[in-house]
């Protein structure tokens, strides 16, 4: 799998299936983003731990932020400063590992469980 920027055709083939699961194609950079809300910090951290092992195996890593039970992920390939097949593969892997966690949309407030008490 290469770190070359995806072509237009490759994007047309691959991105609809990802946006259908809640991945957002960013406007301000050639990257995709997804935000999950887990039941607890432990579930969020467990997800991140499993993803981290997969990332090390693939040598491809997310840009991500965790606030308690929220995990905010952006995928981009730094080597080509844009989306590559590596990002598509990692996105699919993360979707499998996230299981039944709630997916937040671009307009949903990023409010963690601490802030909803
Ligand atoms: C040196 C190391 O192989 C490279 O820096 C890898 C590590 N993980 C990476 N992750 C991402 N998202 N993009 C990269 O270009 C990248 N490169």
User: Two tokens at 65?
Assistant: 């932020």
pLDDT of residue 116 exceeding 90, the answer is no
State what percent of residues in the chain have pLDDT above 90.
Answer: 87
Residue 1: the pLDDT is 63
Tokens (6 digits) for 69: 């039970």
DSSP 7: P
CATH architecture of 8-115: 2-Layer Sandwich (3.30)
Distance CA 89, CA 75 (A): 10
DSSP characters over 11-78: HHHHHHHHHTTT-EE-SSSS-EEEEEE-SSHHHHHHHHHHHHHHHHHHT---EEEEETTEEEEEE-BT
Residues 6+ apart with CB under 8 A from 24: 32, 33, 34, 106
Per-domain boundaries in the chain: 8-115
Q: pLDDT: is 55 or 3 the higher one?
A: 55
Angle between helices 41-58 and 85-98 (to 10 degrees): 150
pLDDT in tens, 15-72: 999 999 999 999 999 999 999 999 999 999 999 999 999 999 999 999 999 999 999 9
Work out the pLDDT band at 114, boundaries 50, 70, 90.
Answer: confident
Pocket lining: 5 vs ligand 1, CB cutoff 6 Å: no
In the chain, % of residues over pLDDT 70: 97
The residue length of the chain stands at: 117
Whether residue 78 has its Cβ less than 6 Å from ligand 1: yes
What is the structure's pLDDT at 28? 97
For residue 67, the CA-to-ligand 1 centroid distance in Å is: 24
pLDDT at 87 over 90: yes
Model confidence band, residue 113 (pLDDT cutoffs 50, 70, 90) = confident
- If you take atom 2 of ligand 1, which residue's CA is the nearest one? 59
């Amino acid at each position: 799998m290469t770190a070359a920027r995806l072509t237009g055709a490759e994007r047309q083939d691959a991105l609809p299936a990802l946006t259908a699961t809640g991945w957002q194609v960013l406007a301000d950079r050639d990257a995709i983003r997804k935000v999950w809300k887990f039941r607890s910090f432990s579930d969020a951290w467990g997800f991140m731990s499993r993803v981290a092992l997969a990332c090390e195996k693939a040598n491809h890593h997310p840009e991500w932020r965790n606030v308690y039970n929220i995990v905010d992920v952006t995928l981009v390939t730094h080597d080509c400063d844009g989306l590559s097949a590596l990002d598509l593969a990692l996105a699919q892997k993360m979707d499998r590992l996230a299981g039944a966690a709630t997916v937040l949309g671009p307009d949903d407030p990023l409010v963690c469980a601490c802030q909803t008490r």
